[in-house]
Amino acid sequence: MHFDNRYATLSPKLFHKQAVKSLPTPMAGHFNTELAKQLQWSDAEQADWINIINGSNLPQEADPLAMVYAGHQFGQWAGQLGDGRGLLIGQVFDQQQKLTDLHLKGIGLTPYSRMGDGRAVLRSVIREYLAGHALHHLHVPSSNAVGFIYSHELQIRRERLEPSAILLRTADSHIRLGHFEWINQYQPDLLQEFAQHCLENYYPDCLNAESPILAMAKQVIDRNAYMIAGWQLVGFAHGVMNTDNLNITGSTLDFGPYGFMERFRPNWINNHSDNQGRYTYQNQPSIAHWNLWVWLNNLIPLANTKLANAHDKEQFKADLATCLEDFEPAFLTYYRSGLAKKMGLPQDDERCFDCGMAFLRILQAEQLDYTSSFRRLTDHAYTALRDDCIDTRAFDDFLSMYHEIRKDADQDSLDIDMQQHNPIYILRNHMAQRAIELAEKDDLSEVERLFTLLSKPFEKQAEIERAEDLAPLPSDQPEVMVSCSS
């Protein structure tokens, strides 16, 4: 690996350096060989991956540190948070010379653990490992993971005693919106230095703008709009979109009580701690907008610095507000474009979005499976779709409009778009649960099968698929609500 630990060059007030608290008698979970190669792991490092993830034989250049940040949780100020069980062990260059964070989760107590034990359980680590892998291959910006290990010797109590685990995850950045909240609240003198670091390392093209901070703000907003559109298009519900769980590069972080939607219910609550439904699938765009508003407010003190180049503070505040106005149109542009591809409709036809909405209304009214219904549309299985509907007239009206829009278009090209944007396989909760239950008995075969299956979600893999991978949730079975405990 080729390290360049740039975050560690910042003020030591922003982190705490410490060693990994390794697991006793670690066992191999799963190793993402392809990702390790992309990150330029040597053959020796790949062979020693268990000890590297366990922190017992980190590369000499590694410089483990726990980040401190703050945040709003469920819309309320939560004060100081931070890496309560994670360490940024370093930053490495991948094969394209892109800087990537290596971050261990489940390493024991840090100064930011609050009331936690600093550990992660095998159940949550498997869910995060597979989710990041799934989103990556669905072409949604996301963190990923090199691998995980686990231990029966160290049992962790959540709702029950569970095996402990450590996950080595990767991301283009672990700098969260909440980092700016912490600095602005507790160390405001560091704000300019920190913003400069973000510009130089993540948005260097903004440095020569008239107002580098405004230029960066526009890009952060745009990238998050793109990510959220990606979530909505694949039916992904994050479940806990606190300001400390969104980063400045617009890539998915922190897989807790997430879920891939089965029946199309936009108001589905997948986090059983979300009593008010704040983080439902349908609310994700507006919550992202709110989180970005909070973040922009923490940039206001930069008004009188060279990074803002503002004439006065009030004008700078107005300019930041104008930046935020770009979120909704950007999100809608990305979402409409993606929906057109999922529907197999020409994007330049004004009727395209209305047709897509008509299809979604049918899925919602009939409580049909989101992923398999789009795949049936891809396969031109119109009769099967119609047979699933009680209100066949609504479906017939939709299908008539659908064929009318497509009739003069290049249907072969549109069908290719559909095949590349409508997955056959998603990570359904029951699939992850089966893998977890087997793994807790030291059978990692289902983790391996799902890892392979989700590597090519748009391709039929009859040789390894199970019937349950494709089966819609039975009509009498409620969706799973997942715990935040991990």
118 is in an annotated binding site: yes
235 is in an annotated binding site: no
Name the active-site residue from 63, 83, 172, 244: 244
176 is in an annotated binding site: yes
250 is in an annotated binding site: no
> Residue 57: helix, strand or coil by DSSP?
coil
* DSSP classification of residue 301: G
Cα–Cα distance between 479 and 301 in angstroms, integer?
Answer: 45
106 Rama class: left (phi>0) / alpha (psi -120 to 50) / beta = left
Do residues 477 and 442 touch, judged by C-beta distance below 8 A?
A: no
Nearest alpha carbon to residue 58 among 50, 69, 66, 68: 50
Nearest alpha carbon to residue 291 among 214, 224, 238: 224
169 is in an annotated binding site: yes
Sequence-distant (≥ 6) Cβ neighbours of residue 476 within 8 angstroms: none
Do residues 319 and 332 touch, judged by C-beta distance below 8 A?
A: no
82 is in an annotated binding site: yes
Do residues 325 and 286 touch, judged by C-beta distance below 8 A?
A: no
End-to-end CA gap in the chain: 29
Nearest alpha carbon to residue 343 among 361, 355, 329: 355
157 is in an annotated binding site: no
* DSSP classification of residue 100: E
Sequence-distant (≥ 6) Cβ neighbours of residue 259 within 8 angstroms: 236, 237, 239, 268, 270, 429, 479, 480, 482
Cα–Cα distance between 260 and 237 in angstroms, integer?
Answer: 6
| Furthest-apart CA atoms within the chain: distance in Å | 67
349 is in an annotated binding site: no
* Number of Cβ within a 10 Å radius of residue 157: 11
Q: Does 94 qualify as catalytic in the annotation?
A: no
Q: Which residues are catalytic?
A: 244
- Residue numbers in the known binding site for Mg(2+) are 245, 254
- Residue numbers in the known binding site are 82, 84-85, 105, 117-118, 169, 176, 245, 254
- Residue numbers in the known binding site for ATP are 82, 84-85, 105, 117-118, 169, 176, 254
